[in-house]
Structure 1
Amino acid sequence: MTATSDLLPDTRIVPFALGLAAHGDRPAVITADGPVTYRELAARVDETVRRLGRERRLVLLVGANTLDALVVHLAALASGHPVLLVPGGHPEAVRSLIDAYDPDVVAHPEGGQWVLDERRTGSAHTLHPDLALLLSTSGSTGSPKLVRLSHENLQSNAESIAAYLGIRDTDRAATTLPMHYCYGLSVIHSHLLRGAGLILTDLSVADSCFWELFRSCRGTTFAGVPYTFDLLDRVGFDTMDLPHLRYVTQAGGRLAPDRVERYAALGHAAGWELFVMYGQTEATARMAYLPPHLARTRPGAAGIPIPGGSFRLRPVPDLPGADTGELVYTGPNVMLGYAHSPQDLGLGRTVDELATGDIARLSPDGLYELIGRRSRFVKILGLRIDPGQVEAVLARNGVTALCAGDDEALVVAVAAAVAAGETGTRRIRKLVTGACGLPARAVEVRIVAELPRLDSGKPDYRAVRELRHLCDPAPHGTGPAGGTDPEDLCALYALVLDRRRTEVTRDSTFVGLGGDSLSYVEMSLQLEERLGHLPADWHTTPIGELKPPERQQARSHRRTLETSVALRAMAIFCIVGSHIHVFGIKGGAHLLLALAGYNFARFHLTTAARRERVRRIWTSIGRVALPSMAWIGLVLLLNDDYTLANLALLDSVLGPEDSKTGMHFWFIEALVYILVAAVGLLGLPLMDRVERRFPYGLPLTIAGLGLLTRYDLLGLPARAEIPDAITVFWLFALGWAAAKAATTRRRLVVTAAALATVPGFFPGDPGREAIIVAAFALLVWVPTLPGHERVNRVAGLLATSSLYIYLTHWQIFPLVDGFSRHLAFAASLVFGIAYATGVTRLMRGFPLKAVPSLRRSPSVRRTTDRSRA
């Protein structure tokens, strides 16, 4: 690790970040890819220290619960570079803070890799020697107001937390909160200080994969804000078997006393402890904690000061009594002060104690109790109102709400599930007016899909206040056919992805819920109809962030169609039409192989853990193979066109080679074989790490290896004698690479690869090759095409039903072909769509807990011999 002598004189650092190597080969970070020891982590930090250089620079770090982000953060702390930690996943906030503070270095993810964008070799700013970290107190808004924290702040707060929690080097803490949030960051710091392990993940506690990872890594602790405990209630935390759990911490807002008592009792019965804590970003993280043995008897108390800190009560007008006042904190973790602009980065300490803004009472047993928020008090019609007390009154009456106000009215936000309709609204208004004496006209009850929260899970009171300026919003409908608020969209996701409604939250994403290539079609069409426009990354965007375009009505917005959807619809249309000889547009099946690779990368190669990835790929293989085998088995009972080799999807391996109908399903066999090979490859921990490190380079390498068989450089038997998967998998790999080509240069490379390798694959048929290359280029360069509502629906039906159309058309069109080719063509498409609808409804009836839906699969196709689709 970097020695102090390597740093410029008078450079101040955070000791625990400099001393990582002292913990040796203990596991420091555990991810889905495996463990990283302290010695290995120190080596990576040291390498980044050298990149950052000896001259202090302002480093803006896009926070994420990833090893790369952690390494940059620790490297900066270990070498004296001040870090401006900003929220990942919010590009507007990142841009806003870059514009406001003009950092010297920007560390951020790009194309699956971590980039250090060194904007200058020195610093454009005067940086005070004590300045170590800059954090926002306003969530993801990009506000330029930042908290300035020193090296001493970080070290002392980590030591204090580690002391009262009794953190051991055998502990393993899961990162359940964002790194850019002071509470989440304090978990990281305090455990690294003690040589404990971090289970580094961005999975939500609502995700079953989180608990699989937590158990497999022998997790001993995790942290939660009040909203986290809402999620724990939903996922049945009280029934989970977590044999290594030692304690749970809670902060980030007040947890209702009855819930503190309940979770403390749950922990007592299960053998773990609950630490309720109180803190603010301005105090680095923590100021007080409630000893666990008091959680069941004093659940409403904030507790006692952390080691090294102290409280006093400052008198507040209208609040008589020496035991009540504004809570003021003093300790070595109190911030240097605020920064509003780059000029403030050169300031030293401007505050010595922290006026918390919280109204507290010191009880006779020495515990501090928070009874309100000074800054939240509002005076409405001459009455001094504490919105926090109103929330408490509603909570005692079974209503969870958020309250905020101005000089004219108090706004009460209530979730739709709690208060639906006029009766619920009137009851809540009556409770509020009775509690605080306001007239009914000064209380505005707003029914919302879900209570607004910041990224950290804390209540978003600014959003509550803004509800006053909106019309009274009863939720837009009661189901998927409803409006565009998150509750309606959650219901839509649950329906399309066949998930229980409780499994889908505002934080859920299409990919995270197990969406795949064909459910993508249905979902994108449904969403565009509701929202009027979809961002390119909607499938990885949380539901709560999907909104209609501003100042536009969704119905009037220009319709578009996903290019991959259009190409899949076109491919199955051309395949069936060519087989029936309505026209002769060929190349659809081989294009679909590239599309299958493209969607494989988009929907399976996510940030999910390796085991979850493998599970989902196997599920997709089942969605292709099982419906195919079921249909072929039914046909086997009716005629002798096929053999048991077809039923087992082994015709390309076992033959017979002289069968005129045996190769009808070559595409499905090839796709299944390729997917099996892919899951076998990515199921290896080493290859999983390689793919995450080189998401574009790996598929391009595989495509290059595929050229050995595509050009028959290995002396293989004739193409008719070997499985097609061996000679065509390079197309699948090119589609995979296309999905990961995040830059213009990479898109040019993958397009050039297709242009160079497709020609010559079909000797004497340049038209087919031209169609494949042109469609592939369209996929790479044009994400969406102009659409129309009816055209989009037809394309969506074809793309979604493509597997079933392909499976059934071989048997349907001969029944009508002698009468009319065009009628046979239409009948094949209609029957396939109808069959898809029936199978989909049937499969939704099965109790599939962990499998999202069995009706989807990558696309399909082929003809009577291997080269004729």
Structure 2
Amino acid sequence: MSLNPDLSEATFTDLARHGDRPAVLTADGALSYRELAARVDDVAARLGTERRLVLLAARNDVETLVAYLAAITAGHPLLVVPADKPAALESLVSGYEPDVVLRTGNGSLAIDERWPGTRHELHPDLALLLSTSGSTGSPKLVRLSRANLEENARSIAGYLSIGPDDRAATTLPFSYCYGLSVVNSHLARGAGLVLTDLSVVDPCFWDLFRERGATSFAAVPYSFDLLERVGFADMDLPTLRYVTQAGGRLAPEKVRTWAETGQRRGWDLFVMYGATEATARMAYLPPDLAAEHPGTIGVPVPGGSFRIDPVDGLPAGELVYTGPNVMLGYAEGPDDLALGRELQELRTGDLARRHPNGLYEVVGRRSRFVKIAGLRVDLGQVERILADLGATAAATGSDDDGLVIAVEGDHDADLLSKVLATDLGLPRAAVALHPVERLPRLPTGKIDYPAVRNLAAAQVVPPADGGRQQEGPADVPRIFGECLDRADVRATDTFVSLSGDSLSYVALSVRLEAALGPLPANWHLLPVGELSGRSRPRRRRLISFLEPSIVLRAVAIICIVAAHVELFTFHTAHLLFVVAGFNFARFQLTGNRPERLRRHARSLARIVVPSVAFIAVAYVLTDNYSVANIFLLNGMVGPQEVTSEWHFWFVEMLVYVLVAVMLLLAVPWVDRLERRVPFAFALGVLAVTLLSRYDIVDPGLPKPLPVFWLFVLGWAVARAGDTRRRLLVSALAALTVPGSFDEPLREVTIVLGLLLITWVPALPVPSILRRVTGWLAAASLYIYLTHWLVYPMLMPFGQVVAVVGCLPVGVGYWALCRWAPVAFVRWRRRRAPILAS
């Protein structure tokens, strides 16, 4: 069907004109414009012809889109609220008493008609009501007209050159004006929407992006932190045409970096400036200027204009916007819905200047000034000073309380406070810095400044029961925080995005399984909020289910200790290299190259530091070890014959393997190759390591036999995403493991263990042993280290006692090594105010 080529005056509700073009594309199928129009007409008819106030609990699903378009098309003023914020929803229902409430779920739309007609006087121009934050239940709403929506959609579509062949992935919620502007601007041009509620950290999002040929997506500043973690800069996205950024200021250095990345990869970065009060957008920075002028907001959108009004006592003036997308005004209660237009221009509250080249730059906020000790302090300047010092920060405060600043990451708070106080000319006591793991943010990605202010009085009080009793779905964020030592776990975070590793995975999965019941195989990729929504087991179960890698680690370490005390001989150490490779690929191969390298280094340190510390103690207490043992070099310089100096061969070999992998992936082109073809890359590394397995090439690695190929077999299992690939890895294990040790039982153990982690999602464990199994698995390395000193002392009491006695000692050392770094950091943070006073 041919389209009307003149789309300049098209509206986003004129759906039928686009005929059979795809309007909505999901993981389950596609909906044409003609089909979408029919569904919209059906819901509009159900809403009736009398204008009524409609509240929509919005989700990123087809039913929400249909309901939104139906209400706007039929002329019903629509209040859009996020469905996942029940407190906000109930607050607005109570405050505005909508005539109709629309809810979606399970592929259907529920229409709750609370009144037969309407209880409200509704102005003829009123079309949409949005919260300025997009999430809170504040009664203060922005009143927008149909003309506001249409003009802004047309303007955005114009400067982005949106055409019928474009397809935008819905990365932002419909209840957020930025997310809604993506919908409106694309529907106005007959373009497609790739509808999803997946996060950009979810691999399934990018699979859908490629499958549906998406050409763009929208991002807020925080999105780019997530994009760095998933290696977006090196992703193969052949249909991507541009990325838009709004929702707050993106640091200029990041604008430049991402703009240059886009130029290199063939897509454009549009930095935009806007507000809910302007429907969505007021300015945009042309992509070809982004790298050169990354600190500016660009030029006004088509149809809009800026002026700068002087502000007494300040070098910069206030930015004032005029355009057809300026709101009608605010509503603070139902009576305000009868009001018409109350203003013609928008005083943004931002301080700005205009460059000679016509680009505008925002330099601060009128409302973000506080007066401390007689000095006027720009909170934006505070954040910029700290940024120049390498610290990401959020600053707030008051005339009475001084500055309250959250600083992301582990920084020297005392030093930063002194530098900041000196630069600003403030008393040191007026500057309070609070190191946090991550800055608190609203669901839209913007800084949650009230939460920053609360840091001044916040105190963490541990639960009386240690937080371990009667845990359920509501405890999931706290469980994540305790196991990963994170104070800022959000609903959108995942185990991977929080930099979890194989050591923390065990403890966390065991506690989650107790709180939620059996976990899905990909739970480490699921958002915390989604896990929190799972049902708790209704009754105590006699049998629990744990991931095979956890059970194998626990069983293997018991067998290792038992073999060394000669209780029985069942060799399992080499199986642990397969498990190590499996966990390495799952937890370490995420994020961009610098993030990967940092994660590799942290993981390596968690092995090397406890090992070196313990072996040093063993060296002092016994005559069994050499200095080479302390530095994990016995495999390189130690005796060829098997002596007590080979006790720690497992740790040494694991460290050698991890160092080799880290160096390999530190090469940029190798890292990019692994991202593009992860399974093929693992098979390629396996082919190389098999050269040493078959003695085709002597790699010069220490004896016992090299184990790199076993590690890579586990790596390949983690990268085998479908049945065909899992069958291939299973076959490779069955072909390569036999004959490698001339010990059939050891070889069968390795193959069976690999098959378990490949094909079996969970293994049954008596519930009474669930937590013990988790402890043993998490502490397996530490039990291996300590048992060499412990079991000789217990042998006079019998072999069974020797085995059992080694286990709690290793678990204790594991707990000490987990606690000590955290305690040290907290001690430093407590000491900082004392040292500064």
- Range class of TM-score, shorter chain: 0.5 to 0.7
The equivalent residue for 2:79 is 84
Question: Paired residue for 1:457, among 434, 445, 448?
Answer: 445
2: CA distance between counterparts of 1:327 and 1:794? 65
| 1:363 positional shift | 1.3
**One-letter amino acid matched to 2:225:** D
Q: In the alignment, is residue 507 of structure 1 matched against residue 492 of structure 2?
A: yes
Give the AA of the match of 2:319: L
CA contact (8 A) 1:486 1:506 kept: no
Match in the other structure for 2:176: 181
Find the counterpart in structure 2 of residue 170 from structure 1: 165
* TM-aligned CA deviation for residue 48 of structure 1: 0.6
2:416 counterpart (428, 435, 439): 428
* SS of match in other structure, 1:41: helix
2:349 is aligned, of 354, 357, 363, to 357
- In 2, are the aligned partners of 1:489 and 1:543 still within 8 Å (CA)? no
Q: Of 120, 124, 127, which residue of structure 2 is paired with 1:129?
A: 124
CA pair 313-105 structure 1, distance change in 2 beyond 3 A: same
Query: What amino acid does structure 2 have at the position aligned with 1:794?
Result: I
Q: Which residue of 2 aligns with 1:290?
A: 285
Residue 772 of structure 1 corresponds to none
- Under a length normalisation based on structure 2, what TM-score does the superposition of the two structures give? 0.60
Residue 768 of structure 2 aligns with an amino acid whose one-letter code is: V
> 2:259 maps to what in 1?
264
Q: What amino acid does structure 2 have at the position aligned with 1:102?
A: E
Contact kept in structure 2, 1:253 and 1:458, CA below 8 Å: yes
Whether the 8 Å contact between 1:17 and 1:75 is mirrored in structure 2 is no
Contact 2:102 2:111 in 1 (8 A): yes
Secondary structure of the equivalent of 2:243? Answer: strand
Alignment: residue pair count: 568
Deviation by residue 1:55-88 (Cα, 9 ceiling, x = unmatched): 1111111111111101000111111011100112
Stretches of structure 2 lacking an aligned partner (at least 5 in a row): 1-8, 517-522, 547-718, 739-743, 746-753, 776-799, 815-837
CA distance in 2, matches of 1:210, 1:192: 22
Closer/same/farther in 2, CA of residues 506 and 68 from structure 1, 3 Å limit: closer
Does structure 1 retain, via aligned residues, the 8 Å contact 2:284–2:297?
yes
CA spacing shift, 1:41–1:124, aligned 2, 3 Å? same
Q: CA RMSD in A?
A: 4.8
Q: Which amino acid aligns with 2:537?
A: T
- Give the match for residue 157 of structure 1: 152
**Within 5 Å, which residues of 2 pair with 1:92-491?**
92-110=87-105, 113-320=108-315, 324-415=316-407, 417-419=409-411, 424-471=412-459, 489-490=479-480
Give the superposition deviation at 1:230: 1.0
Report how far residue 156 of structure 1 moved: 0.2
Match of 2:540 among 561, 566, 587: 566
Provide the C-alpha distance between the structure 2 equivalents of 1:220 and 1:390, rounded to a whole number of angstroms. Answer: 38
Q: Is the 8 A contact 2:63 2:107 kept in 1?
A: no
- Contact 2:479–2:508 (8 Å) recurs in 1: no
1:38-66 deviation digits (Å, cap 9, x = unpaired): 11111111111111111111111111111
Q: What's the offset of the Cα at 1:242?
A: 1.1
The CA distance in 1 between the partners of 2:207 and 2:193, in whole Å, is 15
Report if the CA contact (8 A) 1:525-1:793 is conserved: no
Alpha-carbon distance change, 277 to 33 in structure 1, aligned in 2, over 3 angstroms: same
Secondary structure of 2:135's partner? coil
Distance of 2:303 and 2:180 partners within structure 1: 20
Matched-pair contact (CA < 8 Å) for 2:277–2:327: yes
In the TM superposition, what is the alpha-carbon distance from 1:109 to its structure 2 partner? 3.0
Counterpart residue type for residue 493 of structure 2: S
CA distance in 1, matches of 2:107, 2:511: 26
List per-residue Cα deviations over 1:184-229 (Å, max 9, x = no partner): 1101100010001111111111111111111111111111111011
Corresponding letter in the other structure for 1:142: G
Counterpart of 1:366, as a letter, is G
Q: What CA deviation, in whole Å up to 9, does each residue of 1:480-519 have, x standing for no partner?
A: 99x9999985466779xxxxx9xx975135899999xx99
Alpha-carbon spacing, 1:505–1:18, altered in 2? closer, same or farther (3 Å): closer
Deviations 1:626-673 (A, max 9, x none): 9xx99xx99xx99xxxxxxxx999xxxxxxxxxxxxxxxxxxx9x99x
In 1, Cα distance between equivalents of 2:475 and 2:427: 30
Change (3 A) 1:127 1:443: same
Question: Which amino acid is 2:165 matched to?
Answer: T
Spell out the pairing of 1:338-737 with structure 2 (5 A cutoff). Answer: 338-415=330-407, 417-419=409-411, 424-471=412-459, 489-490=479-480, 507-508=492-493, 522-524=510-512, 543=528, 562-563=536-537, 566-569=540-543
- Relative distance call for 1:264 and 1:520 in structure 2 (3 A) is closer
Are the structure 2 counterparts of residues 213 and 540 from structure 1 closer, same or farther at C-alpha, using a change threshold of 3 Å? closer
Give the 3 Å change call, closer, same or farther, for CA 340–434 of structure 1 in structure 2: same
CA deviation vs aligned residue, 1:734-770 (integer Å, no higher than 9, x gap): xxxxxxxxxxxxxxxxxxxxxxxxxxxxxxxxxxxxx
CA offset at residue 18 of structure 1? 3.4
Q: How far did 1:470 drift?
A: 2.1
User: What is the letter of the counterpart of residue 130 of structure 1?
Assistant: D
Amino acid at match of 1:430: K
Q: What secondary structure does 1:228 align onto? A: helix
Whether the 8 Å CA contact 2:351–2:362 is kept in 1: the answer is yes
Paired amino acid for 2:363: I
Cα drift, residue 305 of structure 1: 0.7
**Paired-residue identity, %:** 54
User: Conserved in 2, the CA contact under 8 Å of 1:390 and 1:435?
Assistant: no
Hey, what's the Cα distance between the residues in 2 that align with 1:415 and 1:544? 25
- d(CA) in 2 for partners of 1:299 and 1:191? 26
Contact persistence 1:381–1:408 (CA under 8 A): no
The code of the aligned residue for 1:346 comes to A
TM-score relative to the length of structure 1: 0.58
Shift of 1:522: 2.0
CA distance, structure 1, for counterparts of residue 207 and residue 252 of structure 2: 30
SS of the residue 1:469 aligns to: coil
Change (3 A) 1:617 1:143: farther
Deviations 1:813-863 (A, max 9, x none): xxxxxxxxxxxxxx9xx99xx9xx99xx9xxxxxxxxxxxxxxxxxxxxxx
Does 2:768 align with 1:794?
Answer: yes
Query: Shift of the alpha carbon at 1:567?
Result: 2.9
Q: CA deviation at 1:616?
A: 12
1:351 is displaced (CA, Å) by 1.3
- Structure 1 match to 2:633: none
Relative distance call for 1:365 and 1:148 in structure 2 (3 A) is same
Is the 1:404–1:461 contact (alpha carbons within 8 Å) kept by the matching residues of 2?
A: yes
Asked if the contact 1:182–1:285 (Cα under 8 Å) also holds between the matched residues in 2, the reply is yes
- 1:243 is paired with a residue whose SS is coil
> Conserved in 2, the CA contact under 8 Å of 1:125 and 1:342?
yes
Report the Cα offset of residue 456 of structure 1: 0.6
Distance 2:255 2:151 in 1: 28
What SS does structure 1 have at the residue aligned with 2:367? helix
| SS across alignment from 1:277 | strand
Quick one: distance in 2 between partners of 1:378 and 1:392? 16
1:855-866 to structure 2, matched below 5 A, reads none
Aligned residue identity for 1:335 = M
Q: 1:541 to 1:205 in 2, by over 3 A?
A: closer
